[in-house]
Structure 1
């Protein structure tokens, strides 16, 4: 698979992955949606811990103090419940200290036994004595004592609504007064079935009461608290709601609702014209925790009862009386801590309403959550397949950072809560998918590169290719290469003179050093056919000096053949001689073949010419024949002997061919003198001055009898004397054979 196709596949699969991640937000999927919700709740808790909501711009700076019935208070005052008279003293002392509102996060649902009745059971039935006890009973009645303490003071009592139990005890306060009539039964607000309320005698004397029922989320963590509840067609306010109403002297409230599926869903609770509290459809408010337990000032209850509370209670403060003692079961799991006092939860709610510092999940949040997921995931799905791994990681981190910064800004600046887990999960999964896809594609490409080129390309080049597989593919393309053909001369006779096994061993001994030489000079083996070796330079790895490397390899191959020839002769094997042809030109290179067999090879006219040049080596009596373009590309690296200007079969334009005599550093004056004489002889021959040409070639033949090329030209001169060339002859020679 080429990189372009791989990127397309990765993009398509990435988009599909984003769609699958978005599906649970559009429609619930059993097992998936709950799992994502759990992850989202976890991320919400981490955000709350890392960045508690800031206090609002309209910070009321109203002091909120918690009077704590803690372990130390229980040790001093005795086990819970305390006598009602002691609670009455606590209320009176707080009022005397200047508390603005006293909220009792305590349920007084059962009457306290009068000590007079206990004494009466152990005294004789004397009328006078019983009369005295009757007169004393009201004075010692704890409930009436507490009722007298509540009378005329700003005290808010607490009670509990039951979702399942139908039992009802005590007296509920007056329903929440609404400015506008509202069909409470039409609200999509779960109705309560029962309640445990304060004793009537206490409810009648207290300023008001509010429910303190707190229902955690499915994982047991309390993130939302109800501000409103309904029962018997009436609405009632929570402990926090009633405390704020009592503190601000608010008489009526107003609701904002939205009709969805023929039901009225709550959106906001308006406690006056300036205080709007956002709630969800179930009348709940996200608790904007200020911090861990202890974020509000605590005063131990025993200190209020035994010392002067004015030193610890600021004038006009809202005082919540509750408990942190573990045995009294008012400790909850919250995002801030697994053990969080329930009374401090109410303190956080009251502070949020007074400061107007809310956390809100707006009605458009689901659409925004889906949009963030689609935009973040979709962009990465489109972009990441086109990037390198490090850039993929950087882009993914940047996308995650933008999501974190955006949601954090909404959270801190506007109190808006949007999902973060799902978009981040999309970013992470898309990033992991693309990194994994890239790794697999790269590994597959490396494997294909090694499988394709391992036997044909030098190991160093294969390693270089595997380090950057994206730079290589198997598609056919045109580029200039140098092609080499090598053949053993007289191979037919050689094969006839040897047994098959001997021939195989001889060829193996021959091909091994030839292949090594080609590899050492960065060549690529194209194929072995019988005794023929075909190789090329410049692909699959670019090589600007492909022509030079090809000629270097050819010279070394001839030297290696000479060493093999000596070894073969010593072993009684036939002599071997090799002809090599090299040509450079634009060819098509790539993975070619059928669905049954394919190979990385080269095709083109330059390849055909290289093959014909190899066949010409025996004709010219030389070991290497090189084409004109190869000669141009090598520059001054070699010393050349021009062989001919020839028209080969299949080509109209004459081709100049050369023999590399040696490398430039090996050049000698004697060799240069020979080449100068050859140049003069060729000039005379090509100008049809046959007499001068014959004299020149005879001198060369005499001086260099081992060079068969000069005798070849003497034969041509003799032929031209018999058949003179035409007047427009350009000095080229036409060869009919390949």
Structure 2
């Protein structure tokens, strides 16, 4: 309503040129701000500076695209020989003996007919000869024993198996070595045979590790090849998105495990590097081996071609291989990777498709990507294209948005975002990875910037209207009506609310001893902390009536827990009164008491009044009942009385029913309750007191007055401050003298407010 009046008033008022004035003042700043946003994002995309938030948003957008376009088809030619929990349970904890590893290798090739085996595990230390060790210990005790029998070592047995079959060993590099780290150990495999000039190989910024941990020399030399399984390209959020295809060590290039398996499988053909050169800079684009191309970035890193969630590839437990429980046809001709998925072996990674993902399955994905040529590429020209598109979108938005209305800005941004998303997904299907989040963020920031500036101009106009309408409507309500989308009609609306009435007892006699000039200050000192207690618990002050306060919960902002918040506010009010009383008594004034009544239910709420003055208030029968409950607090000698509706709507609170009554102005009886506190915070003594009270009330309701009298007498003796117990003793005395009769319903009628 107010928006309509405001807009109408602006159009007809003499100051209708106000908008043009604000446009002239703010329009240059609008262009400058928009241009700064465009340049900031272009610079970030071009690499002139790094915005951490943008970096993480790009990672998130990449992960979402991966998850939305997983291939899903299984490749039966790739299997994972899994060192899982079941294998550890059946065969024993890792490491297994080299004899067992040799037996596993032999079974895989001889009985299951696999094509090649890659170890995603490193054998860096020699296996001790257990028999020789035990025999030596026996000879120390029995010197006459002959030397230990000559038994072939486990390492020799495994080396023999490795030399017999096409096996690729795994090892790892370490990017940064500290002073306390040991030197490199073990042996490296033969490096890649690269068909490229040495100066080109040297010019590429490959990962250049500082140390390595390889396999025992006898084992590595027995195998056909080897590949690393570490990843120095893990993103700052700990997620595996790309891995290096090769790493540079002492003038040679060494492949990762999947690449080494393909390299070995095809007879170790020469590897070709496809590079582009411009402005004296060599840019690596592709690594090719055996007719297969792997698109890489400038450092030789490739995006992992994800195929599916964890468990997408075929897993076969190592125990099932050793015990020959697997159908031989399941592995015939397969490319096998032996690795661990057991959590205790720490080979689990965070990836775009799962937060816990086995490392061997990452290698399987890389292997499948080479075979199916499903790698996604980020060639240099894609960045140039993205920069061009971002510049065009930013420039058009900067020129057009300041001249558009809010709806047009939102519609234009949505259209541009849809086009940007469509083009990006089309490129993704072509295996090109383009920056995605930067375009959406640019549109979002430009839209927010221009909408904010438009809102600022409108707010200047609205403030002009607010100042004038404030002469007729309270300014705080005008401000709320201007800044919220809700309708505040004069007719109001019906909501489920909680209303609170409070009254300070004895304030009249309290104020008699105070000079009239000081009474205002005393009232402010009294009402300020009480109001603060209400506001802190989401309450709305309706009005002050002398020393009385009326407040409600659930409007203007909806509150599903209005009953609970009203109880919290009531107890906070009592606590605030205690603090005020300490100040008053220290100053020689009397301490004050307060009665509070709360009721919940449907009430009418809204701007009510006349065309000259409106007030945001609540009305209705349930509001009147709240006022009546406050009046009953004095009769029952309690601080707070609530209705059954409020008690039911706040189940976390423990309440005791203190009576069934008819209040003045209502014929329907109601149950009234005294809130005690939150259930879980009550002491066992308090819970016992409530239980005894309920027992006494049940006896009273059933006209077992003698029993009820005894129960209330004991309560009054044990809890001298329980005014309700004393009231019932007096009431039962009356009923014992004058029994109420068989039609008595247990309801007490109050004739005063």
Q: Do these two structures clear the TM 0.5 threshold for a shared fold by scoring above it?
A: yes
TM alignment of 1:511-530, pairs within 5 A: none
Aligned with 1:80 (options 94, 119, 122): 94
Q: Residues 371 and 100 (structure 1 numbering): CA distance in 2 closer, same or farther, change over 3 Å? A: same
**Are 1:28 and 2:48 matched, yes or no?**
yes
Q: Residues 325 and 114 (structure 1 numbering): CA distance in 2 closer, same or farther, change over 3 Å? A: same
Aligned with 2:416 (options 399, 419, 432): 399
Aligned-partner SS, 1:168: coil
Q: Counterpart in 1 of 2:380?
A: 363
Aligned with 1:314 (options 316, 331, 344): 331
Quick check: 1:53–1:415 contact (8 Å CA) kept in 2?
A: no
CA deviation after TM superposition for structure 1 residue 330, in Å: 0.8
Aligned with 1:353 (options 352, 370, 378): 370
Q: Residues 69 and 268 (structure 1 numbering): CA distance in 2 closer, same or farther, change over 3 Å? A: same
**Are 1:156 and 2:171 matched, yes or no?**
no
**Are 1:276 and 2:293 matched, yes or no?**
yes
Quick check: 1:188–1:264 contact (8 Å CA) kept in 2?
A: no
CA deviation after TM superposition for structure 1 residue 40, in Å: 1.6
Aligned with 2:213 (options 178, 189, 196): 196
Q: Counterpart in 1 of 2:157?
A: 145
Q: Deviations over 1:34-89 (max 9, x none)?
A: 3321222222222222223688xxx9x56211111111111111111011111111
State the distance in 2 between where 1:222 and 1:278 align: 17
Could you tell which deviates more after superposition, 110-119 or 44-53?
A: 44-53
Q: Residues 180 and 435 (structure 1 numbering): CA distance in 2 closer, same or farther, change over 3 Å? A: closer
State the distance in 2 between where 1:100 and 1:47 align: 34
Quick check: 1:94–1:309 contact (8 Å CA) kept in 2?
A: no
State the distance in 2 between where 1:54 and 1:351 align: 12
**Are 1:383 and 2:403 matched, yes or no?**
no
State the distance in 1 between where 2:122 and 2:280 align: 37
State the distance in 2 between where 1:112 and 1:362 align: 47
CA deviation after TM superposition for structure 1 residue 334, in Å: 1.3
Q: Deviations over 1:478-520 (max 9, x none)?
A: xxxxxxxxxxxxxxxxxxxxxxxxxxxxxxxxxxxxxxxxxxx
**Are 1:37 and 2:51 matched, yes or no?**
no
Which structure 1 segments of 5+ residues have no match?
456-465, 468-738
CA deviation after TM superposition for structure 1 residue 252, in Å: 1.4
Q: Deviations over 1:424-460 (max 9, x none)?
A: 11111111122222222223234446779999xxxxx
Aligned-partner SS, 2:338: strand
Quick check: 1:188–1:263 contact (8 Å CA) kept in 2?
A: no
State the distance in 2 between where 1:127 and 1:18 align: 86
Quick check: 1:176–1:237 contact (8 Å CA) kept in 2?
A: yes
TM alignment of 1:216-231, pairs within 5 A: 216-231=234-249
TM alignment of 1:543-562, pairs within 5 A: none
**Are 1:256 and 2:274 matched, yes or no?**
yes
Aligned with 1:241 (options 236, 259, 271): 259
Aligned with 2:83 (options 63, 69, 77): 69
Aligned-partner SS, 1:66: strand
CA deviation after TM superposition for structure 1 residue 377, in Å: 2.6
Quick check: 1:62–1:318 contact (8 Å CA) kept in 2?
A: no
CA deviation after TM superposition for structure 1 residue 131, in Å: 5.8
Quick check: 1:152–1:207 contact (8 Å CA) kept in 2?
A: no
Give the structure-1-normalised TM-score.
0.56
Quick check: 1:99–1:313 contact (8 Å CA) kept in 2?
A: no
Quick check: 2:135–2:148 contact (8 Å CA) kept in 1?
A: no
Quick check: 1:303–1:309 contact (8 Å CA) kept in 2?
A: yes
Give the structure-2-normalised TM-score.
0.55
CA deviation after TM superposition for structure 1 residue 259, in Å: 4.8
CA deviation after TM superposition for structure 1 residue 27, in Å: 5.3
Q: Deviations over 1:358-396 (max 9, x none)?
A: 111111233233223222232223333333322322221
TM alignment of 1:381-460, pairs within 5 A: 381-411=398-428, 413-448=429-464
Could you tell which deviates more after superposition, 446-455 or 319-328?
A: 446-455
Aligned with 1:13 (options 30, 33, 53): 33
Q: Residues 312 and 82 (structure 1 numbering): CA distance in 2 closer, same or farther, change over 3 Å? A: farther
Q: Deviations over 1:506-552 (max 9, x none)?
A: xxxxxxxxxxxxxxxxxxxxxxxxxxxxxxxxxxxxxxxxxxxxxxx
State the distance in 2 between where 1:130 and 1:185 align: 59
Aligned-partner SS, 1:433: helix
Q: In the comparison of the two structures, how many residue pairs are matched?
A: 448
Q: Please tell me the root mean square deviation across aligned C-alpha atoms, in Å.
A: 3.1
Q: Residues 357 and 425 (structure 1 numbering): CA distance in 2 closer, same or farther, change over 3 Å? A: same
Quick check: 2:136–2:148 contact (8 Å CA) kept in 1?
A: no
